[in-house]
Amino acid sequence: MTPPAFEYHAPATAEDAVALLADLGDAAKLIGGGQSLVPMLALRLAVFDHLIDLRHVSELRGITASTDSVRIGALTTHPEVGASEEVRRAIPLLAQATPLIGDLQIRTLGTIGGAIAHADGAAEYPAVALTLDAQIETLSPRGRRTIPASEFFTGMWATDLDIDEIVTAITFPVWHGHCGFAIEEFSRRSGDFAMAGATVALRLDENSRIDHCAVGLFGLTPQPMRAQVLQAAPTGRPIHAVAAEAVGAAATAGLHSLPSDVNGSAAYRRRMGAEMVERAWRRAVQEASID
């Protein structure tokens, strides 16, 4: 099928893009890499009178690293993220997640800002952003603001973005010290959306005690989420005293209304979610452990 007719706009600046959004309202839609939007338009699952193409807005591209953070422009593509030495060194969890995204075409053309703004509950980047306490930078006609990832994702394909607001960049804090990071996911076939996935970030003190840890979940609920594991892995507890099985059980204990479909029952998804957390936890512990 072909998409219905629309008017095409190609702003040169981010300010021009948000001005168009403000003028056109619900009739307009942004497109970056287009790996989610184009299929929806082709199948006529989405219809818009105006399409605003951000690919000519050069200010939304690029990676800037400092000692304590890495800022990634919204239009930076997945291959650019995956090939970045700064990302691999400073944000290893993001680098680990990149090869797992979709298929080759999606990884080639998709953008990090598009993945974050689309807010798919089965996508890797939103879970990474939540796990690492990323900050989402945005622009609207009212100015710029920064939204913590913990407040950005509000529901199924829903975010805190206003109708005339765009994502301009995502800033990830750099974790220092004895850290370990891991991502695990399960899908029926390579390239399919994950039925269950988990991200783990872990930091230990000099005595091999937990200094900070975070677990993200994706593929299990309509929106990406950060799991509660404080009782299973409290700050200050020796890492050798924490069982991966306990962390997996704690991470999935609070999940409600899990989907049940042809791919698996709710109970099956919960078991797979716990298993993904356990695997990621073990890998992160191994990486962070002090010899």
Which domains are present in the chain? 7-52 (3.30.43.10), 63-173 (3.30.465.10), 178-288 (3.30.390.50)
Higher model confidence: residue 140 or residue 261? Answer: 140
Mean pLDDT score, 175-183: 97
Mean pLDDT score, 17-43: 84
pTM: 0.94
50 in Cβ contact with 13 (< 8 Å): no
- Predicted local distance difference test score (pLDDT) of residue 291: 59
Please calculate the CA angle 276-279-285 and round it to the nearest 5 degrees.
Answer: 135
Torsions phi, psi for 18 (to 5 deg): -70, -30
- Predicted local distance difference test score (pLDDT) of residue 32: 87
92 in Cβ contact with 153 (< 8 Å): no
The amino acid at residue 267 is A
